[in-house]
Amino acid sequence: MQVASVIPTHSAPWYRHRWPWLLMAGPLIVVIAGTITMWISFAGADALVVDDYYKQGKAINQDLRRERVAANLNLSLALRFDPAAGRLSGAVQGKPGSKNLNLLLVHPTMPSKDMKMAVTLDENGSFSLPLPLLERAHWQVELEDANRQWRLHGDWHWPQQKNIDIQSVQNAA
Protein backbone atom coordinates (compact mmCIF):
# COMPACT_ATOMS: atom_id res chain seq x y z
CA MET A 1 0.00 0.00 0.00
CA GLN A 2 1.44 3.27 -1.09
CA VAL A 3 0.54 6.72 0.36
CA ALA A 4 -0.02 9.55 -2.08
CA SER A 5 2.09 12.61 -1.52
CA VAL A 6 0.19 15.84 -0.78
CA ILE A 7 3.18 18.13 -1.20
CA PRO A 8 3.55 19.28 -4.78
CA THR A 9 6.88 18.48 -6.22
CA HIS A 10 7.00 21.52 -8.48
CA SER A 11 6.02 24.97 -7.12
CA ALA A 12 5.86 28.36 -8.92
CA PRO A 13 8.29 31.09 -7.78
CA TRP A 14 7.04 33.47 -5.02
CA TYR A 15 6.37 36.41 -7.34
CA ARG A 16 3.87 34.34 -9.30
CA HIS A 17 1.59 34.02 -6.27
CA ARG A 18 -0.92 36.76 -5.41
CA TRP A 19 -0.59 36.65 -1.58
CA PRO A 20 2.88 38.22 -1.29
CA TRP A 21 1.75 41.08 -3.54
CA LEU A 22 -1.45 41.56 -1.59
CA LEU A 23 0.50 41.69 1.69
CA MET A 24 2.97 44.23 0.26
CA ALA A 25 0.26 46.47 -1.22
CA GLY A 26 -0.82 47.93 2.16
CA PRO A 27 2.61 49.24 3.26
CA LEU A 28 3.33 50.45 -0.29
CA ILE A 29 0.12 52.50 -0.35
CA VAL A 30 1.00 54.01 3.05
CA VAL A 31 4.48 55.02 1.83
CA ILE A 32 3.04 56.64 -1.32
CA ALA A 33 0.34 58.49 0.66
CA GLY A 34 2.94 59.72 3.17
CA THR A 35 5.17 61.00 0.38
CA ILE A 36 2.27 62.87 -1.24
CA THR A 37 1.25 64.36 2.13
CA MET A 38 4.81 65.59 2.76
CA TRP A 39 4.97 67.13 -0.70
CA ILE A 40 1.66 68.97 -0.15
CA SER A 41 2.73 70.27 3.26
CA PHE A 42 6.07 71.61 2.01
CA ALA A 43 4.73 73.03 -1.27
CA GLY A 44 1.89 75.05 0.28
CA ALA A 45 3.23 77.17 3.14
CA ASP A 46 0.70 78.33 5.73
CA ALA A 47 0.04 82.01 5.03
CA LEU A 48 -1.55 82.55 8.44
CA VAL A 49 1.70 82.06 10.37
CA VAL A 50 3.58 85.30 11.04
CA ASP A 51 7.35 85.25 11.49
CA ASP A 52 7.58 88.46 13.52
CA TYR A 53 4.56 88.39 15.82
CA TYR A 54 5.88 91.28 17.95
CA LYS A 55 6.03 93.58 14.94
CA GLN A 56 2.50 92.50 13.96
CA GLY A 57 1.28 93.28 17.48
CA LYS A 58 2.71 96.78 17.28
CA ALA A 59 0.99 97.24 13.92
CA ILE A 60 -2.39 96.49 15.54
CA ASN A 61 -1.96 99.58 17.72
CA GLN A 62 -1.32 101.69 14.62
CA ASP A 63 -4.47 100.25 13.00
CA LEU A 64 -6.51 101.25 16.05
CA ARG A 65 -5.14 104.78 15.79
CA ARG A 66 -6.26 104.92 12.15
CA GLU A 67 -9.74 103.68 13.12
CA ARG A 68 -10.01 106.41 15.78
CA VAL A 69 -9.21 109.01 13.12
CA ALA A 70 -11.99 107.55 10.93
CA ALA A 71 -14.37 107.77 13.89
CA ASN A 72 -13.44 111.43 14.46
CA LEU A 73 -14.22 112.13 10.78
CA ASN A 74 -17.58 110.30 11.22
CA LEU A 75 -16.91 108.07 8.20
CA SER A 76 -19.07 105.24 6.92
CA LEU A 77 -19.07 103.09 3.79
CA ALA A 78 -21.96 101.45 1.95
CA LEU A 79 -21.07 98.84 -0.72
CA ARG A 80 -23.19 96.92 -3.19
CA PHE A 81 -21.91 94.22 -5.55
CA ASP A 82 -23.84 93.38 -8.71
CA PRO A 83 -22.41 90.07 -10.01
CA ALA A 84 -24.47 90.21 -13.24
CA ALA A 85 -22.92 93.54 -14.23
CA GLY A 86 -19.56 92.78 -12.59
CA ARG A 87 -19.58 96.11 -10.73
CA LEU A 88 -18.93 97.11 -7.15
CA SER A 89 -20.55 100.43 -6.28
CA GLY A 90 -20.24 102.31 -3.05
CA ALA A 91 -20.75 105.56 -1.22
CA VAL A 92 -18.65 107.17 1.51
CA GLN A 93 -20.39 109.34 4.10
CA GLY A 94 -18.55 111.81 6.29
CA LYS A 95 -15.46 113.90 5.55
CA PRO A 96 -12.79 111.64 4.05
CA GLY A 97 -10.51 114.62 3.30
CA SER A 98 -9.48 113.20 -0.07
CA LYS A 99 -11.22 111.92 -3.16
CA ASN A 100 -8.51 109.30 -3.78
CA LEU A 101 -8.94 106.22 -1.62
CA ASN A 102 -7.80 102.58 -1.57
CA LEU A 103 -10.27 99.72 -1.25
CA LEU A 104 -8.88 96.36 -0.17
CA LEU A 105 -10.71 93.05 -0.36
CA VAL A 106 -8.73 90.59 1.73
CA HIS A 107 -9.28 86.85 1.30
CA PRO A 108 -9.47 85.01 4.63
CA THR A 109 -6.81 82.37 3.89
CA MET A 110 -5.03 83.02 0.59
CA PRO A 111 -3.13 86.31 0.21
CA SER A 112 -2.75 85.67 -3.53
CA LYS A 113 -6.49 86.37 -3.93
CA ASP A 114 -6.38 89.75 -2.14
CA MET A 115 -7.46 92.72 -4.26
CA LYS A 116 -6.38 96.34 -3.89
CA MET A 117 -8.29 98.89 -5.95
CA ALA A 118 -7.82 102.64 -6.33
CA VAL A 119 -11.08 104.51 -5.76
CA THR A 120 -11.87 108.05 -6.90
CA LEU A 121 -14.95 109.57 -5.31
CA ASP A 122 -17.31 111.77 -7.31
CA GLU A 123 -18.83 114.97 -5.86
CA ASN A 124 -21.48 112.91 -3.99
CA GLY A 125 -18.92 110.60 -2.39
CA SER A 126 -19.90 107.68 -4.66
CA PHE A 127 -17.81 105.36 -6.80
CA SER A 128 -18.19 102.36 -9.09
CA LEU A 129 -15.54 99.78 -9.99
CA PRO A 130 -15.38 96.74 -12.24
CA LEU A 131 -15.00 93.61 -10.13
CA PRO A 132 -14.79 89.98 -11.29
CA LEU A 133 -17.05 87.42 -9.69
CA LEU A 134 -15.84 86.78 -6.17
CA GLU A 135 -15.47 83.33 -4.74
CA ARG A 136 -17.66 82.35 -1.80
CA ALA A 137 -15.74 83.49 1.26
CA HIS A 138 -15.68 85.62 4.39
CA TRP A 139 -13.91 88.67 2.93
CA GLN A 140 -12.32 91.46 4.96
CA VAL A 141 -13.07 94.91 3.52
CA GLU A 142 -10.80 97.87 4.21
CA LEU A 143 -11.17 101.42 2.94
CA GLU A 144 -8.35 103.86 3.60
CA ASP A 145 -7.18 107.19 2.31
CA ALA A 146 -4.18 107.31 0.00
CA ASN A 147 -1.95 108.67 2.81
CA ARG A 148 -3.00 105.89 5.22
CA GLN A 149 -4.23 108.38 7.83
CA TRP A 150 -7.55 106.63 8.51
CA ARG A 151 -9.16 103.26 7.88
CA LEU A 152 -12.62 101.69 7.82
CA HIS A 153 -12.69 97.95 8.37
CA GLY A 154 -15.46 95.36 8.17
CA ASP A 155 -16.47 91.81 7.26
CA TRP A 156 -18.32 90.72 4.16
CA HIS A 157 -19.90 87.28 3.83
CA TRP A 158 -20.23 86.87 0.07
CA PRO A 159 -22.72 85.77 -1.41
CA GLN A 160 -24.96 85.78 1.66
CA GLN A 161 -24.61 89.57 1.91
CA LYS A 162 -25.29 91.53 -1.27
CA ASN A 163 -24.85 94.87 0.51
CA ILE A 164 -22.44 95.85 3.26
CA ASP A 165 -22.45 98.87 5.56
CA ILE A 166 -19.31 99.70 7.51
CA GLN A 167 -19.46 102.29 10.27
CA SER A 168 -16.48 103.89 11.96
CA VAL A 169 -15.97 102.61 15.49
CA GLN A 170 -16.79 105.43 17.89
CA ASN A 171 -15.15 103.85 20.92
CA ALA A 172 -11.98 102.42 19.34
CA ALA A 173 -9.59 102.12 22.26
Residue 41 lies in a domain: no
Low-confidence ranges of the chain (pLDDT < 70): 1-9, 45-63, 170-173
Residue type, 5: S
CA dihedral 14, 17, 21, 24 (to 10 degrees): -50
Q: How far apart are the first and last CA of the chain?
A: 105
Residue 95 lies in a domain: yes
User: What is the pTM (predicted TM-score) of this model?
Assistant: 0.61
Residue 92 lies in a domain: yes
Backbone angles phi, psi at 84, to 5 degrees: -65, -40
Residue 64 lies in a domain: no
At a CB cut-off of 8 Å and minimum separation 6, what does 146 contact? 98, 100, 101, 102
Nearest to 70 by CA among 164, 153, 155: 153
Residue 149 lies in a domain: yes
Residue 145 lies in a domain: yes
Predicted pLDDT at 72: 85
Predicted pLDDT at 30: 97
Residue 129 lies in a domain: yes
Full residue range of the structural domain in which residue 160 is found: 75-167
Burial code (b: 16+ CB inside 10 Å, e: under 16) for 97-136 equals: eeeebebbbbbeeeeeeeeeeebebeeebebebebeebee
Residue 84 lies in a domain: yes
Segment (H or E) for 167: strand 163-167
DSSP strand pairing (126-130 vs 76-82)? unpaired
Predicted pLDDT at 173: 45
The CATH code of the domain that includes 139 is: 2.60.40.10
Total count of domains within the chain: 1
